[in-house]
Amino acid sequence: MNKDKGIRMIANNKKAYHDYFIEEKYEAGVSLHGTEVKALRMGKCSIKEAFIRIENGEVYIYGMHVSPYEKGNIFNRDPLRVKKLLMHRSEILKLQGQIAEKGYTLMPLQVYFKNSLVKVEIGLARGKKLYDKRQDIAKKDMRREAERDFKVKNL
């Protein structure tokens, strides 16, 4: 937990960084019900297969799985229900224009608590080609080997 900012990570989407170039990042609130917040406090969330759409000037996240709260009984909601994201109108219009014009998509990057509020970090993403992914893997391997060599020399 990052004490100075009051930020506590709930879920992270590493696959988004592997499959997409992230151009810009935005922060959005999430409209949730009580038992969903309690489940998130327990860390029961997955955004691996989630995606974001803009419909009628509002932003929605699809495929964000929030596991049902154990003690929630009848108040539990559908784990995969569509959730509304809360953003400023100007940000929504800017994103809508970029998605329509340049072929970008919106991906959820991480879900976290900021003080007591649930936030989602959204990335304006452009898809990677297969050769881009191979280059990234090669760079990681080279960096890992360089660190290993440096570690061996210093011992």
Instruction: Choose among 11, 16, 18: nearest CA to 123.
Output: 16
pLDDT of res. 132: 75
Q: Between residues 26 and 19, which one has the greater pLDDT?
A: 26
Determine the CATH number of domain 7-127.
Answer: 2.40.280.10
Size of the chain in residues? 155
Domain ranges within the chain, ordered by starting residue:
7-127
- Rounded to an integer, what distance in angstroms lies between the CA atom of residue 31 and that of residue 10? 16
pLDDT digits (tens, 9 = 90+) for 118-146: 899 999 888 877 777 788 888 888 888 88
Confidence bin at 2 (pLDDT 50/70/90):
low
Global confidence as pTM = 0.76
Q: Evaluate whether 113 touches 7 at the Cβ level (below 8 Å).
A: yes
Cβ atoms of 84 and 70 closer than 8 Å: no
Which residues lie across from 29 on neighbouring strands?
A: 86, 119
